[in-house]
Structure 1
Amino acid sequence: MKIIRKIATVTLIIINLVSCTKKETTFIDPLITNRDTTISPSEDFFHYANGGWFNQHPIPTSERSNGIFRMIQDTINNQIKSICETSAKETSAEKGSNKQKIGDFYASAMDTVAIDKAGITPLKSKFARIEAITDVPSLLKTIGYLHTIGSGAAFSFYVSQDDKLSSKNAVKFMQGGLGLRQRDYYFNTDAETVNIRAEYVKHIQAMMQLLGVNPSEASQNATSIMKLETDLAKASRKLEALRDPVKNYNKMSVLQFKALTPNIDWNITLKDLGIAKADSVIVGQPEFYKALNTYIKSYPIADWKTYLKWDLVNTYASYLNAAIENQNFKFYSTVMGGVKKQKPRWKRSVEQTDGSLGELIGQVYVKDYLPAGSKEKLLEIGNNIRDVYAEHIKKLDWMSAETKVKALNKLSKIVMKVGYPDKWKDMSSVVIDRNSYCQNVMAANVWAYQYMTSKYGKPVDRTEWSMYPQTYNAYYNPSNNEICVPACNILVPGFEGKLPDDAILYGIIGGSTFGHEITHGFDDEGSQYDEKGNLNNWWTAEDLKKFKTKTGLIVSQFNKYKVGNKNINGSATQGENIADLGGVIMGYEAFKKTKQYTAKEMISKLNPDQRYFLAYGYAWMVNSNKEALSQQIMSDVHSPPQYRINGPLSNVSEFYKAFNIKPGSKMYQPDSLRVEIW
Structure 2
Amino acid sequence: MKKSILKSSTSILVLSMILYSCGSTEKTSNPQQPTGINQNFMDKSFNPADNFNRYVNGSWLDKTEIPADRTRWGSFDELRKNTDDDVMVILKEAISDKTIDPNSDQAKAIYLYKTVLDTVNRNKAGIEPLKPYLAKINAVQNADQLVALLAEMEPEMGLGFFGSYIGADAKNSNKNVVYVGTGSLGLPDRDYYVSNAPDSKEKREKYVLHVAKMLQFMGDSEVVAKDNAQKILALETKMSTATLDRVERRDRRKTYNPMAFADLQKLAPTVKWEAYFTAVGIGKVDSLVVSQPKYIQAIETVLKENQVADWKAYMQWTALRSSAGLLSTAIENANFEFYGKTLTGAVKQRPAEERALATVNGRLGEALGKLYVAKKFPPEAKAKAQAMIANVMQAFDNRINNLPWMTKATKENAKNKLNKFRVKIGYPDKWKDYSALEVKAPEQGGTYFENSRMYARWSHKKNIEKMGKPVDKEEWGMSPQTVNAYFSPTNNEIVFPAAILQPPFYNYKADEAVNYGGIGAVIGHEISHGFDDSGSRYNADGNLVNWWSEDDLKQFTTLGSALADQYSALEPLPGIFVDGKFTLGENIGDLGGVNAAYDGLQIYLKANGNPGLIDKFTPEQRFFISWATIWRSKMRDEAIKNQVKTDSHSPGMYRAYVPLQNVEAFYKAFNIQPQNGMYLAPDKRVKIW
Shorter-normalised TM range: over 0.9
User: Which residue number corresponds to residue 18 of structure 1?
Assistant: none
CA shift in 2, pair 1:325/1:349, >3 Å? same
CA 1:243–1:332: 2 relative to 1, 3 Å: same
Which residue in the other structure is 1:574 paired with?
584
User: Partner letter of residue 551 of structure 1?
Assistant: G
- Structure 1 residues 229 and 53: CA distance shift in structure 2, 3 A: same
Please say if residues 142 and 306 of structure 2, whose CA atoms lie closer than 8 Å, have aligned partners that are also in contact: no
Which residue number in structure 2 is paired with residue 587 of structure 1? 597
How far does the alpha carbon of each residue in 1:222-260 deviate from its partner, in whole angstroms, 9 at most, with x for none?
111111001011111110011111122111011100101
CA deviation profile, 1:464-489 (whole Å, cap 9, x unmatched): 11111111111111111111111111
Q: Secondary structure at the match of 1:642?
A: helix
Task: Normalising by structure 1, report the TM-score.
Answer: 0.94
CA distance in structure 1 between the aligned counterparts of 2:111 and 2:383, rounded to whole angstroms = 35
The one-character-per-residue Cα deviations of 1:376-435 (angstroms, maximum 9, x if unpaired) are 222221111111111111111111111111111110000001111100121111111122
For the residue of structure 2 that corresponds to 1:231, the secondary structure is helix
Aligned ranges 1:638-649 → 2 under 5 Å: 638-649=649-660
In 1, Cα distance between the equivalents of 2:31 and 2:680?
A: 43
**Equivalent in the alignment of 1:416:** 423
Q: Is the 8 A contact 1:155 1:174 kept in 2?
A: yes
Structure 1 position 504 matched with structure 2 position 514: yes
* Alignment correspondent of 1:339: 346
Q: 2-side partners of 1:664 and 1:576: how far apart?
A: 29
Q: Is the 8 A contact 2:162 2:182 kept in 1?
A: yes
1:146–1:91 distance in 2 versus 1, CA, 3 Å: farther
Change (3 A) 1:453 1:342: same
Q: Which amino acid aligns with 1:458?
A: K
Q: CA 1:156–1:614 in 2, change beyond 3 Å: closer, same or farther?
A: farther
Matched residue SS, 1:170? strand
Q: Which position in structure 1 is the counterpart of 2:12?
A: 3
For residues 152 and 75 of structure 1, do their structure 2 counterparts lie closer, same or farther at Cα, with a shift above 3 Å needed? farther
What does 1:213-224 correspond to in 2, within 5 Å?
A: 213-224=220-231
Amino acid corresponding to residue 561 of structure 1 in structure 2? L
Say yes or no: does 1:524 pair with 2:533: yes
* Whole-Å separation in 2 of the counterparts to 1:282 and 1:397: 38
Give the distance between the partners of 1:451 and 1:141, measured in 2 at CA. 22
The answer (yes or no) to whether the contact 1:9–1:75 under 8 Å persists in 2 is no
- In structure 1, the residue matched to 2:454 is 443
2:483 counterpart residue number: 472
Q: Superposition RMSD on alpha carbons, in Å?
A: 2.2
> What is aligned with 2:122?
115
CA distance in 2, matches of 1:8, 1:244: 28
User: Are residues 104 and 7 of structure 1, via their aligned partners in 2, closer, same or farther at CA, if it must alter by over 3 Å?
Assistant: farther
Q: Give me the whole-angstrom Cα distance separating, in 2, the residues matched to 1:67 and 1:608.
A: 24
- Is the Cα contact below 8 Å between 1:91 and 1:100 reproduced in 2? no
TM-score (norm 2): 0.93
Counterpart amino acid of 1:568?
V
Task: Indicate yes or no: 2:384 matched with 1:377.
Answer: yes
Q: Which amino acid aligns with 2:68?
A: T
CA contact (8 A) 2:395 2:596 kept: yes
Report the AA paired with residue 49 of structure 1.
Answer: V
Equivalent residue, structure 2, for 1:16: none
SS in 2 for 1:448: helix
CA distance in 2, matches of 1:421, 1:502: 27
The residue aligned with 1:132 is: 139
CA shift for structure 1 position 148: 1.6
Question: Is the 8 Å Cα contact of residues 102 and 353 (structure 1) preserved in structure 2?
Answer: yes
CA displacement at 1:156 relative to structure 2: 4.7
Whether the 8 Å CA contact 1:108–1:436 is kept in 2: the answer is yes
Answering whether residue 596 of structure 2 is matched by residue 550 of structure 1, we say no
Runs of at least 5 residues in structure 2 that lack an aligned partner in the other structure:
1-9, 23-27
Alpha carbons of 1:574 and 1:118: their partners in 2 closer, same or farther (altered >3 Å)? same
Do the aligned partners of 2:180 and 2:288 also contact (CA within 8 Å) in 1? yes
- Report if the CA contact (8 A) 1:5-1:472 is conserved: no
Report matched runs for 1:75-90 at 5 Å: 75-90=82-97
1:600 shift after superposition:
5.7
1:87-116 Cα offsets, whole Å, 9 max, x none, are: 334577433212321111111111211111
Structure 1 CA distance for aligned equivalents of residues 565 and 277 of structure 2: 43
Q: Return the offset for 1:676.
A: 0.5
Equivalences, count = 669
Superimposed CA distance per residue, residues 583-602 of structure 1 (whole angstroms, 9 cap, x where no aligned partner): 00001001112339952611
1:662 is aligned to 2:669 = no
Q: Which residue of 2 aligns with 1:41?
A: 48
SS at match of 1:63: coil
C-alpha distance in 2 between matches for 1:39 and 1:556: 27
Tell me by how many angstroms 1:556 deviates. Answer: 1.3
CA spacing shift, 1:57–1:442, aligned 2, 3 Å: farther
Query: Which residue does 2:191 correspond to in 1?
Result: 184
Match of 1:368, SS?
helix
Aligned with 1:603 (options 604, 608, 614): 614
In the TM superposition, residue 62 of structure 1 has moved relative to its aligned partner by 0.5
Q: Residues 82 and 6 (structure 1 numbering): CA distance in 2 closer, same or farther, change over 3 Å?
A: farther
Distance (whole Å) between structure 2 residues aligned to residue 103 and residue 566 of structure 1? 44
Write out aligned runs for 1:93-242 (5 A). Answer: 93-151=100-158, 153-242=160-249
Instruction: Give the Cα separation in 1 of the matches to 2:133 and 2:252.
Output: 36
The answer for the alignment partner of 1:17 in structure 2 is: none
Match of 1:349 among 326, 331, 356: 356
- Following the alignment from structure 1 to structure 2, what is the Cα–Cα distance between the partners of residues 453 and 645? 43
Partner secondary structure for residue 424 of structure 1: coil
Deviation at 1:555, TM superposition (A): 1.3
1:58 deviates by 0.8
2:179 is paired with a residue whose SS is strand
The question of whether the paired residues in 1 share the 8 Å contact of 2:18 and 2:76 is answered with no
CA contact (8 A) 1:96 1:431 kept: no
Q: Which piece of structure 1 moves more, 75-84 or 63-72?
A: 75-84
Q: Which amino acid aligns with 1:154?
A: F
Cα distance in 2 for residues equivalent to 1:640 and 1:40: 22
Amino acid at match of 2:481: Q
Measured at CA, do residues 209 and 43 of structure 1 come closer, stay the same or move farther in structure 2, by a change above 3 Å? farther
Residue of structure 1 in register with 2:662 after alignment = 651
SS class of match (1:466): coil
Shift of 1:190: 2.4
Matched residue of 2:583: which SS?
helix
Matched to 2:655, the amino acid is R
- In structure 2, C-alpha distance between the alignment counterparts of 1:87 and 1:308, rounded to whole Å: 39
Structure 1 equivalent of residue 76 of structure 2: 69
Structure 1: segments with no counterpart, 5+ residues: 14-20
Alignment-mate amino acid for residue 354 of structure 1? N
| Identity percentage of aligned residues | 35
Inter-partner Cα distance in structure 1 for 2:460 and 2:317: 21
SS at match of 2:485: strand
Match of 1:316 in 2: 323
Post-superposition Cα deviations, 1:563-591, rounded to whole Å, max 9, x if no partner, equal 11211111111111101000000010011
In structure 1, distance between residues paired with 2:11 and 2:44: 32
